Structure 1
């Protein structure tokens, strides 16, 4: 038996050595699903003699795909690099690069991919060009309706104008040879469904298909897998329906039942290597309340009983946050946990504010998952737009973004005239520069800009390494000079971000093949598919996050906060049993992130969306611990630091943004009495007000 097979338990080994026929690996949280899947690929290559090029493995994030490939190569050797391992979107790119012209919809194989911000920018311009009221016709609303129409064929457009914007939007994409994220999967599905040449090619190519995180697949993704796998039927999916929490993104909970009907056969992984028995008992009791479970299982731990989870109540949301902060400091000082071992989880981002403010006041380092993505920052999008234009100057969408960045005396009126001329002559805006019929500074600036693009584009012919291009573009375009002239902290950060972009291109040399332009195009495709969680965060800091953002991650210590009805479960979910079951699965995901310690916290009063509320404890608390009454606040366990849940204490020196320095006289029920210097005197203020900082 190979060394990597000997590391598996019996059920994992049964799944990993399965060769012929379909299999659903029902893999509970922390049961080693990724190891099982990667070992199965290595087994197919090493033991069964299957060609790596005939194996397709798909997952949901670039990080997961990258790690999967590294593990497989480590087990099966360098030739395993030819295994097709992609995200669903990246696989779509590969298919469309080869066959998109067979759809006869006007697209060419050298299409570019736009992200959500770019898609919304097009819609915003269309609303303006159609002289529509942007208060009535909202960009996000129309973008969602376009996505629903493409993906689900659901016509939710309110009127003629919205439907017309969709038609103009799609026309804009085709004319500029652009695809949005929906297209990457919708058009791939359409090709496989309607074009026998494409379908036959990929059915013959891929004898073995593997899918990670199957519970997160939507109806289009399932149909793609089904179309690819129906010939050989060697479809191997790994997932846990109990962790299906992306219904709002279109994930289809019924895909598990569809698979069992279309393919059948299952193996259950229920031995958990992450959490202790006490933590898993909470998870098992909770998820058993769901009636609609395709597979029933109880997770078992091989780590012993561990520490019993605790349930805490606080008088207010501010006290809850301070209670958590004090416990974090105790865990770090007394039990030698690192900050990075700890996560604070909540149901939605609106609940993060109090915790973020409190961590800052306590000088506890933190990072927030779900903040602005590196690739969404203006300076990054600008530099990438320059690079795309250097590859193809006829891309009007990117051309318009950079035509006056940095400012070069080309105003909106000149851009509109140039765009009109391009449409009149049915050429690109770049080509239309030679046909403009206005004079003055704008004309000179346009010709200078065209010369600059041609000069920089020519330079690409002499480049060999991807790392050369970022700083060349940033400096030669004048972008760095523009930022340096601003001379502030923000511009310095933006320069640092551009330098960090160079790191991405340096790393790209390791992953892409072909000549310089081919490697560059592959890297740009990959960047278009990045998400927040693909970025590593090595800082020693606690994580503030929604439950959704940490799915797939684990932490030694987890605080599940704001465990209150009307918040978690969300109020709308209580009207539909299916929605309530998804809320329960979200809570289940939260519990199963914890390795050693689990805290469940709530408050008796909360300021949310500008209103005070007095929420009841979440019903999920009662479901997790039915033997103890948790609906009465005095029955809650007390934190060992409960008496120190306030931020201020008598004698503390503070600074107020208006009243200046003062001394705390006393604190009662969240109200601080503070003596300020004259003429302000004694003031009673909310202890948690952001205007107060402890000195």
Structure 2
């Protein structure tokens, strides 16, 4: 059984592995900050050159920890797991095994979500892997886009590359052959960082020795979101010298699409590890904590603020109308809307009430088979939308794909000039159909072949720019409307959780509301995702639903949930 502690607890022994279980609002970040300060003040092993590694999964958590820790003398390194592994394992050492994987290590410039999709790349891959019989190029690219590294069940220490679904579309050489095409160009996908990190520590054990000497303490926040490969790496690091500390909540595991597997937190173990549990909820009002307890009877939290507030309210009607109605009751600056789909979050930011869940950027890939034109349009859309959100570094990086990936000063200047033109002339294409932007890019940014007929032409003239722009994924946790995944680790005074049909499907009331009516957090990730959304609220919680039957209205009122029907 875990030892029960509170968020202010100071571990008397910092030289043992530990695991902390805690529900939403329990004070996990507060505990972690206190523990970091404890190490900084009392460790005899940290010394001048040693550092504390702290892995987080959101920028919000990073900023919060850095602000609360204060001056750490450069002895705290906080980052995402991919950034940490790239900086301390892949970048300095991957050249040692590069030849084994056809990797051009001299040309590496970071990692991103790159997926090759050009016609010539597909033909080269077919010839190299002997799979010329495959005719559906769209399915090939879709499969490449879904590839994930995972452990081979027949050889638990060997990593293999496969799509997450059980389809053997390629030969085994076909999967790895695609990766080698990517690597031969000096390109790394985020997921490849895990692969090369694992291969390096397995084949070059001295890398672990160096890593342990640099980081005698290794802390992981939101541990439930880690993947099996990350956990394997963590266990190897913690096998000697380095002390591992992990903090998390099993029921807040919502990143299966990134490889996280529910149950990893509870099963994680290292020699002489001590388990702790933080109970209670410091974040939310009594009514909100009561609803969370109803959804999760296996963890009954006490509302430690002990503040009575209003009942959670489900608002029936249009989501923009729901936001407007809430704004009559609460300060608009304090209202944050959380939704399942990236496109919904972007649409609300633009004041659009459309319910569009077809990924038009993905559809563009199949609509336009001319790779040069398709990439120019897609990367320009992403770049200008990133820039309008203030992500200029990311805008320049993605637009730089059109200009030799910014490898020279001249390339960087061309990229900057192109971005400035896109921003300055935004009004000339943003209110029209995508064809207007295509013509602007062709004339001012990157020349490519024109088009008059065919599927690409039909797509470009029939797709409003405003619709495809909302498909651009928000990179960071900013703004008053976010996806639920981007809200992890944060809290807000007033929350509106938006429910609607997903991925082009019509809204189904019973399915959408099942997380409230028949919750199954242990085995249903969609239920866990909405539990995370509800638990972000401090004082006022609202849920937007397009419709609600009289029977379900009665059930909600019996649960202490108010119902507000809009005109």
Write the distance in 2 (CA, Å) between the matches of 1:185 and 1:85: 18
Q: After superposition, what is the alpha-carbon deviation per residue over 1:81-113, rounded to whole angstroms, capped at 9, x for unaligned?
A: 133322100111121122213335244365233
Write the distance in 2 (CA, Å) between the matches of 1:589 and 1:288: 15
Which of 144, 147, 153 is matched with 2:146 structurally? 144
Indicate the SS of the match to 2:308: coil
Q: Unpaired runs of 5+ in structure 2?
A: 127-131, 153-158, 354-380, 432-436, 438-472, 501-508
Report how far residue 35 of structure 1 moved. 2.7
Which of 262, 274, 287 is matched with 1:253 structurally? 262
1:382 matched residue in structure 2: 399
Which structure 2 residues correspond to residues 11-160 of structure 1 after superposition, within 5 A? 11-15=6-10, 18-49=13-44, 50-51=46-47, 53-62=50-59, 64-65=61-62, 67-72=64-69, 74-76=70-72, 79=73, 81-94=74-87, 95-103=89-97, 104-105=99-100, 106-107=102-103, 108=105, 111-116=108-113, 118-121=114-117, 125-126=121-122, 130=126, 133-134=135-136, 137-145=139-147, 153-154=161-162
Larger mean CA deviation between 57-66 and 42-51 belongs to 57-66
1:592 matched residue in structure 2: 535
Which of 218, 229, 238 is matched with 1:220 structurally? 229
Partners of 1:26 and 1:269 within 8 A in 2: yes
2:335 matched residue in structure 1: 342
Which of 545, 565, 569 is matched with 2:510 structurally? 565
In the alignment, does 2:558 pair up with 1:628?
Answer: yes
Partners of 2:54 and 2:219 within 8 A in 1: yes
1:321 matched residue in structure 2: 319
2:469 matched residue in structure 1: none
- For the aligned residues, what is the CA RMSD? 4.4
Which structure 2 residues correspond to residues 468-479 of structure 1 after superposition, within 5 A? 474-475=416-417
Report how far residue 310 of structure 1 moved. 2.9
Indicate the SS of the match to 1:85: strand
Write the distance in 2 (CA, Å) between the matches of 1:27 and 1:208: 21
Which structure 2 residues correspond to residues 199-598 of structure 1 after superposition, within 5 A? 199-232=208-241, 234-260=243-269, 264-288=273-297, 296=299, 298-312=301-315, 314=316, 319-321=317-319, 324-332=322-330, 337=331, 339-348=332-341, 356=348, 374=386, 380-383=397-400, 386=403, 388-391=405-408, 456=410, 474-475=416-417, 488=428, 532-534=474-476, 536-537=478-479, 542-543=480-481, 545-562=482-499, 564-569=509-514, 579-580=523-524, 582-598=525-541
Partners of 1:96 and 1:109 within 8 A in 2: no
Write the distance in 2 (CA, Å) between the matches of 1:18 and 1:123: 59
Partners of 2:334 and 2:492 within 8 A in 1: yes
Q: Please, what TM-score do these two structures have when normalized by structure 2? A: 0.68
Q: After superposition, what is the alpha-carbon deviation per residue over 1:3-40, rounded to whole angstroms, capped at 9, x for unaligned?
A: xxxxxx97233245541201112232223322321222
For the pair shown, the structure with the greater C-alpha radius of gyration is: 1
Report how far residue 490 of structure 1 moved. 5.1
Partners of 1:97 and 1:110 within 8 A in 2: no
With CA pairs under 8 Å and 6+ residues apart, which has the higher RCO, 1 or 2? Answer: 2
Gap change, CA 1:341 and 1:263, over 3 Å in 2: farther
Q: After superposition, what is the alpha-carbon deviation per residue over 1:109-166, rounded to whole angstroms, capped at 9, x for unaligned?
A: 65233422x3243688315874764465242233213656896654768567575653
Q: After superposition, what is the alpha-carbon deviation per residue over 1:308-329, rounded to whole angstroms, capped at 9, x for unaligned?
A: 22345x4xxxx35366245223
Indicate the SS of the match to 1:30: coil
Report how far residue 60 of structure 1 moved. 2.0
Partners of 1:553 and 1:593 within 8 A in 2: yes
Partners of 1:27 and 1:268 within 8 A in 2: yes
Q: After superposition, what is the alpha-carbon deviation per residue over 1:163-188, rounded to whole angstroms, capped at 9, x for unaligned?
A: 56534422223322222111111211
Gap change, CA 1:254 and 1:329, over 3 Å in 2: closer
1:194 matched residue in structure 2: 203
Gap change, CA 1:23 and 1:15, over 3 Å in 2: farther
Count of aligned pairs: 464
Gap change, CA 1:357 and 1:592, over 3 Å in 2: closer
Indicate the SS of the match to 2:294: helix
